[in-house]
Chains A and B, each alone.
Chain A
Amino acid sequence: MTNTSHEVVKGPHHSGDAAPIALSAHSITKRFPGVLANDSVDFDVRTGEVHTLLGENGAGKSTLAAMLCGLYQPDSGYLLRNGQQISLSSPRAGLQHGIAMVHQHFRLVERFSVAENVVLGSRNLSFTLNRKSIDEKVAAVAESYGLPIDPSAIVGDLSVGQRQRVEIVKALYQGAEILLLDEPTAVLVPAEVEKLFENVHAMTAAGKSIVFISHKLGEVVEISDRVTVLRGGRVTGHVSGRGSTDTKELARLMVGRDINLSTQRASHATGHEVLQIREVSLKSEGVDILSHITFNVHEGEMVGIAGVAGNGQRELADTIAGLISPTTGTISIGGNMTTDRGPIAAREHGLAYVPEDRLGMGLVPSMSILDNLLLTRDRHIVVDRASVRPEANRLIEQFEIKANDADHVARKLSGGNAQKVLLARELSGGRAATKLLVVCSPTRGLDVGAIETVRRLLDDARSAGQAILLISEDLDEIMSLADRILVLYRGAIVHETKGEAAQLATVGAAMAGLNTEGAA
């Protein structure tokens, strides 16, 4: 297939005599300003198989997938569908060739029923919709692939996993033979992931081809017939054979070196209560965003808040940081009441906050690293940049930030380096020495190397006695880092467990809202 890449063939069957190739891409190159997103990439998927595109964020997986379905056009290279050259000018052209993408962020109309969403965009609809016949057609398509779904349910009432199923049914209804699933598990709880995988098997059994896009090694090994690893826009390896693959080997192909993500949960004594939250509730437009939240975080302790996105995590963090006033309840930091006092008061009592939205909330994109350091500090009437510069240079060195100098504009930093700038500022204290660090999704979107660094920094801060509240949708991250885990579901804490005693199934069930009592 290609002679430039490193080939590892494992598993029982050699790919040469398998099913016919349904879609292939040859020497695809795609350039964006300043980035070579895909550099003569070759890829193919056979009928009835799951072929995974594995790579870190920014490796070029999504770009390649976008070109496979017609969303982008390659700068050079070409596609073959069943051996015939095709050129896809739009996703609609992709659909005509039976290629459909299920996006990470769903494109559904919440107020429409499942069936209405599925037929949306079909060209052969009659002027008046016959709901009953549509429902029947949609149900028939769904059932033939073992995807149980109620066609008359309103999409707004469905869970995330069910909505994903609607997207898949929609693609199948439109006649897709090749489905591109872009990070499909990112939004799912463990039980839903299992369901998804069952559905994937049902589809491949029915002769569909699946291109699975992911950066999670464990699930890739579980689901894939073949894996193509991308790094920096190039193919760095192929691996075939389900289940027989070594995750270490995949990680090395993906990152380019050996990595170690497991941090040691240090056995250390925890000290005084730094953060005290008492009965905090938040109502917005009559909806309960947070209800009766009560917990503490101690010196030298890391508390993890697990939960599926949109269950009140962001609001909880903003409330602690003083950006939102709770409807009822109190918050104190280091023994000082900070409720309703605003973000500056919270910081004066030792708060540091790394928000989920790094570039745009945590950092000002058009400003330099130096000016961004000043964002949460006391600035005099005439800003004295000269006196801050030595500290900025020191932090750039200490946190291994890849930047030309302190005048490097934040917008031009990579995701990992932007996060390091943010952590450098927040951990180094500003208006007061940092006592409490609130971090939201600290490693989301980062490459494995940066994840390693960020986790080490959090670990160091904990060892130094800072209290840390880690809010993340990445359950693995919370399980491996936190001393104590709280599960947030619909704005309430539904489960609490010690970090080392936490069990994936129990925490996962709590995240999905299944009734579990705080055990452990």
Chain B
Amino acid sequence: MRAPFRIIFEQRSDTPKYLTALVPLVSVFAALAAGAIFLMSTGYSVSETYSNMLQDGFLSSRGITDTLGLSTVLICMGVSAAFAFQMNLYNIGGEGQGYLGMIGGAWAGLALGPHLPSAIMIPALLVIGAAFGAAWIFIPAFVRARLGTSETVTTLLLTYVAASLVNHFIYTPNSYFRAPDVTFPMGRTVPDSAKLTAIGDTRMYPTFFIVVALAIFLYWLVKRTEFGYRIQVISDSPKAAHYAGINSRRTTMQVMLISGALAGLGGATLIVGEFGKLDPGITMLGYGYAGIVIAALARNNFAAIIVSGILFSGLRVGGDKLQITTSTPIHIGVMLQGAILLFALGGEAFRRYKIRAVRMQAVAQ
């Protein structure tokens, strides 16, 4: 009797380095393949759709600059999520902290813009936006550090409160943030001193370089400093942290506040950049949620987030343009993002397990 095969998952004692890079790459292609099946079954041309997306997202000069422009806020949201994730803190409210960054940035621009020169106004606006983001996560951070309350729930719920706050500031008549002489409810644009000019003919702002530099700085912070060391000890072994006299509560507070500040900064880049005002449209864009996916795809590696942030940005830009140039539904871009996340998470199994087919144990005699 021939014994049947069975599939066994064998835990790896060690993950080969190449798999860490390969799994995200393969998951992107697997997602594209899944998207292709969807496109074919709904009667669209796969090659046309993908070549359009590639052209409009990455290869045309307009496409790549739009992609880098949008990636600014996405990278910011990605590092915000990753900063908390690496200490096993699940701040999934980057979205809401980003709204607060916009509110704070818009307030700073409107209130201080008329009085300050650009060279002071722009940094001040970004810092105030970051401070508003940090303030928004203060309560979740405090109850997490003191009482162990799940930050996943509190940060998520506060996002809905933040969205209501944005709408309140725009839809309330005579609101400070609302454009006064327009009947249609929209935000008041900040003065020119609080706005950066786009680079050349593009829709890309110098904030892109600030954010990239920030991601590299964070990479260094975590790998090389005592603060990063502490984070690593706490995330791997809270008991060892206690043993070594590391104050876990304080570090938890610090990490969450920084995560909130980074998301707030992401919101503020939109004020000095393409938005220039508080705009309720932000609540439809989901940049903060996209940051979670970007961080996951990059496995919380800050340098890799720059790459995954640009990739996601390109998918969005390319996907958005499809709607205009062809009749392909806009949601193919969003769908691909979701598929990439699913495949990336599924790919974790390959990093942790070896998969082998073995013959069932031979029967003796």
Contacts and interface: CB of A to CB of B under 8 A. Distances in A.
A365 B236 contact: yes
A225 B11 CA distance: 39
A374 interface: yes
B232 A364 contact: yes
B14 A412 contact: yes
Given A357-B239, A360-B237, A375 B244 contact: yes
B13 interface: yes
Contacts of A347: 245
A367 B243 contact: no
Range class of the A interface residue count = 35 or more
Interface string B243-261: 1110000000000000000
B245 A344 contact: yes
Contact of B229 (A353, A355, A383): A383
B363 interface: yes
Nearest to B234: A364
A78 B365 CA distance: 10
Given A366-B232, A374-B229, A375-B233, A26 B364 contact: yes
A85 B363 CA distance: 9
Contacts of B11: 33
Nearest to A384: B224
Nearest to A34: B13
A76 interface: yes
Contact of A85 (B10, B229, B242, B365): B365
Contact of A375 (B13, B228, B240): B240
A360 B364 CA distance: 43
B362 interface: yes
Contacts of B12: 33
Contacts, number: 81
A381 B226 contact: yes
B41 interface: no
A377 to B, nearest CB: 9
B362 A367 contact: no
A78 B236 contact: no
A365 B242 CA distance: 15
Contacts of B245: 322, 342-344, 347
B236 A367 contact: yes
A13 interface: no
A342 B241 CA distance: 13
B225 A382 contact: yes
Contacts of B225: 381-383
A33 B365 CA distance: 29
A149 interface: no
A379 interface: yes
Contact of B13 (A343, A360, A412): A412
B240 to A, nearest CB: 5
Nearest to A359: B237
Contacts of B362: 76
A74 interface: yes
B172 to A, nearest CB: 46
A319 to B, nearest CB: 13
29 contacts: A33-B12, A33-B13, A75-B361, A78-B361, A85-B363, A322-B245, A323-B242, A343-B243, A360-B239, A361-B239, A361-B242, A361-B243, A362-B240, A362-B243, A364-B232, A364-B237, A366-B236, A367-B232, A371-B229, A375-B233, A375-B240, A375-B244, A376-B244, A380-B226, A381-B225, A381-B227, A382-B224, A382-B226, A383-B225
The 5 closest A-B pairs by CB, nearest first: A34-B13, A343-B245, A344-B245, A361-B239, A33-B13
Interface of B: 10-14, 224-229, 232-233, 236-237, 239-240, 242-245, 361-365
Given A33-B12, A322-B245, A379-B226, 5 more contacts: A33-B10, A363-B240, A371-B229, A375-B240, A376-B244
